[in-house]
Amino acid sequence: MLSDIPVLPPATPLLDTIDQGASLRMLTMVELKQLTAELRSFLLYSVGQSGGHFGAGLGVVELTVALHYIYNTPEDRIVWDVGHQTYPHKILTGRMRQMHSMRHAGGLSGFPKRSESEYDTFGVGHSSTSISAAMGMALAAKHQGIDRKVIAVIGDGAITGGMAFEALAHAGHERPNMLVVLNDNQMSIGHNRGGLATYFAKIWASKTYIAMREGSKKVLEKIRPAWELAKRTEEHMKGMVAPGTMFEELGFHYIGPLDGHDLPGLIQTLENMKELEGPQFLHIRTMKGKGFAPAEADPVGYHAINKIEVKPKGPQLAAPSSATPPPATPRLPKYQEVFGRWLCDMAAQDPRLIGITPAMCEGSGMVEFARRFKDRYYDVAIAEQHAITLAAGMACDGLKPVVAIYSTFLQRGYDQLIHDVALQNLDVTFAIDRAGLVGQDGPTHHGAFDLSYLRCIPNMVVGAPSDENECRQMLNTAYQHNGPAAIRYPRGTGPGAIISNELTLLEIGKAVEVRRGKRLAILCFGTLLKQAMVAGKELNATVVDMRWVKPLDENMVAELATQHEFLITVEENAIAGGAGSLVGEFLTSQRFKTGLLHLGLPDEFLDHGDHSEQLNWAGLTGEGILSSIKQAFPSENIASTLAMEIKTPVGIGSTT
């Protein structure tokens, strides 16, 4: 077992020979075991070089090898849920030499991606989709008369999603030829019931038992009472020693739980199940972070890691004794930490506050709240729809729920947000994390649409703070507001604003002018204020921190339109239907003729990369905003005129 992440490429003589699945299927069992060891070592090294999801991949090394060994991939379809666990799959399917580029611009995606490889049969990033997608593929094969195997691999966290159970129920009804593999890494589902369960699982997966079961079925189905009795007897026997009764009731032939790190056992079981007809369910138990001691001890902490920076070797020159060491740069708090601190502070003041998260405790900054207020903390697992309606029910009867949720995952609860919260004007606060571009996780996780899909909902209040302190005070304001309110903030750190310990109320729907200029006014919604100021100073433009998207500060917009020739809206959200669009709608309704330019995210899915790179692609850096303004108004000679005014200040008067 390894305890350190290798900083040099490990020796992988056998893995180096594996180009595609076909070459893997030529190996002996001894070679396959060697392959898993080499694969685990290389995975540790490659993730150390690139950063990315970590523990899940280590846990499915044996399963990945077994699936590609037994099934004729890519003709046979493997559909991975979420995709955190697919790094071994990528290494074995021709992308080993590209792993260093994982999650970097122009490199491999951190998730399965159809355009990247024919082995990536379905693009994912959100959870609980694999069974539905695999069932669709199985039915497509049936309709086309294709003899193809389809396998869905889902984790014990993802299977808590309602969509997964909808698919299981439908599959039990339609009975397609497909296999669902439940990778239970013991983070969610109940514990193994001991050696007896494993012993019986091996019996039920044996060729002898399967032959007896299928043969008896053909005979006894003609005698319905006898068949029903035999079926009930089998179910009761399984129910005594295995947790599979539920899946059997849904119409699946359940096998398990089995040791997911027993490669020969996995291969034998998959081989035995391969030719079975109808929906099959294989339950395996694995260890997240398997083979790397720190990850085994802390699977949550090692869910994903950053790139490992290599320390220089050899003696280092010490600073002269007379030299004064540079002051330590204080670490800026992440917006998630700002939220977590506010949540605890507010909960200490108001016993009605309830914190709700759909399986995002650590990511949303709720660890301290869960510890201090455990009786007021609800993690509903991967069930965004339920989280929102649960909050609605609480709000009906006097509680004040705060739902902490990523922007991209709030999309899943949109119907509940409209019908169960907003329609009833219920007092629910939404803390929307990961708003805007999210960096290496890429397009499946960008929070690119929340301003667009929230501002059109009646009764909603929507805020977009520009810095950490404004985020804290805006969360407090939204919480005190009697009705549904949402505050959106990005991943990572902010500009470093001083955060007040006090909790104050901001005037809802009131913007703040942060710079006075001429001719141009830049209206910034959210955390791009720093970038907007770069352009504002260069062009001597007025810059306004709009703060609120809904309600819009119409008085401020009208004043700016009266006193300036051109307005520019800036937001880290899709331009289509976003905050800028709202400004345009207002100006049109009031018959303003002011020139208007919208800057935001383009009408495309931006690929993974560093957040700074993504802002550059979208033209939302300070330089990008400046360039867009100059290009938008070339006939007005904005740049040269304003530059001249800055060097030789003269009044030009207001024009409309």
Active-site residue flag, 288: yes
Contact of 164 with 82, CB cutoff 8 Å = no
Q: What is the DSSP string of 469-535?
A: HHHHHHHHHHHHSSS-EEEE--SSB-S-PPPPSS---PPTT--EEEE--SSEEEEEESTTHHHHHHH
The active-site residue, picked from 38, 248, 384, 572, is 384
The active-site residue, picked from 77, 90, 288, 472, is 288
Distance CA 423, CA 229 (A): 50
- What SS3 state is found at 248? helix
Active-site residue flag, 384: yes
Per DSSP, the chain holds a count of helices (H) and strands (E) of: 26, 19
User: Which DSSP symbol is given to 639?
Assistant: H
Closest of 48, 115, 129, 126 to residue 87, by C-alpha = 48
Bridge partner list, 311: none
The active-site residue, picked from 334, 412, 518, 519, is 412
H or E segment and range at residue 372: helix 367-372
H or E segment and range at residue 584: helix 579-589
Whether omega for the bond prior to residue 327 falls within 30 degrees of 0, making it cis, is no
Would you call 278 exposed, middle or buried from its count of C-beta atoms within 10 A (0-12, 13-18, 19+)?
middle
Closest of 105, 134, 140 to residue 122, by C-alpha = 134
Active-site residue flag, 412: yes
H or E segment and range at residue 453: helix 450-455
Contact of 392 with 426, CB cutoff 8 Å = yes
User: Which DSSP symbol is given to 418?
Assistant: I
Catalytic residues: 288, 384, 412
